[in-house]
Structure 1
């Protein structure tokens, strides 16, 4: 019986092909940023309040115009049928039962309309070379009832993920990018010394996306627009000037620029720059309810949770994982003396002295 989100990973590793496990677990380069994300979270300390009379904390949050039960959402993650035959539909249904948003990936292995029919959803947009396909995806997401558009801006090209290169990773025939017209892609064509998924990304994604493209998208997107992949407060400020409704502070889970700042370390300056003007979310490295509390204490509206939910999906434990994360959030709030998220944001945040002995 898993007692933490981390407990799902070894269970998933037992049932997954080694190359699929590496595809999910790995980062780019030497995986410095992948490790840094966790080290940075572990270094953060909170000073709890006492005698607050809190017995039953309320962790609900309102973001992008909707009230949700818990201050986290399912992050956009590609090709979830690699983990389970039902893929995105299984995790989306669990998100619906938990009362949290589910973010549909452009590279989902189930059509976005089917996923949106299961749960209230946001749609994550990758910028493709074909502008007509981008327009079509926006229209499809809006027509399917997605309540926000989350455009990912930190993948001009896929980071060099050495595990995938060494495994010569390619998608199996029964897993495909179902939202794209050409579903049989380079991602299926294994080749010596290459990642087929990276080859597909290089051919499909537009590397030269600019602020002008974001401005264009803002004029054509009738639902709240969120930019994912911001680390520098200057970029966050520019996004607000374009008219976005939210930003996601993210280093793509350590899968893009190896050596990038940890997302949680970048969060504070971004909050200071834009929090009065738009929602600020965080992803990369979130592994517990305490991590959620730390991000909110620094100023995040809420967080996106990724890899731990894929491990849970692989062993049909998505409901259990989300329930566990919710319990951890409530327990951490109670121990910190916080009745609601507004009180969490008033906590004093510090940093541990390293190294910490085990």
Structure 2
């Protein structure tokens, strides 16, 4: 497994952000505006990711043989027993696994993006107040100072919660998790769209599909000319969260360029490999472990999504308060 971004490592880079100066060609106000827009966006996607995580627990039935195990075996008309594809896995369930990993990657990316953006917004507000003091705009400075105290308190509360949540999310499916470790070693959770489970569809087709192999070889070569495996197609509508999550994360990198290398693994999206796959060449015993791993993988993901949503939930109220306070401040400066 490629290592997830650990929020603790990111936090080590944050003290320098607190005294950040405007980027070349930017002003404290323009950076505040960019941070504020990203923070508002994060609030919306954070709740969507959390909701998707809760709904994902409904994926548990897909761990059954029908959805993630081996496909059916059928007796061919001219002899032999064909091993058929599992069309549920081919067209639906496999994609849902990637979608589940996207939920984790999105939550992790948002945890550290939020941490960075809130710290930078506070720093640029301080720069803006200095700028206004130098310009003699004492009335504006006084109003912002009155709002800055509560904002600072909210930021510290939110930062502490995000530190905990970020580490929990990063470790949620790692080797030391107290939940359900994934039964595979090669995988990467990254930023991506998440599945809309309520809209997942599967449509069975005619029994005219080709097999992936034979569990009992036919005596006649003619048997290979007749395809009798079940077919089917499925669709997985996705909630378009990748773009806003990536946008907020990239704004965090603008604020803290050293985070670019840490963001890169998440930017490449989610992926996984189940060892032991391949065509059936004889006995099905050689593939039993592969099918069992598929079922266990789906089951582990589904089981871990409810705790993941629990890690995110404590952020909701402090984030809503912080977003409201940021809007108040932007109302003063815009």
- Report if TM-score (shorter chain) is over 0.5: no
Task: Find the structure with the greater CA-based Rg.
Answer: 2
If each structure's strand is expressed as a fraction of its own residues, which one has the higher value?
1
Report the TM-score, using the length of structure 1 for normalisation.
0.25
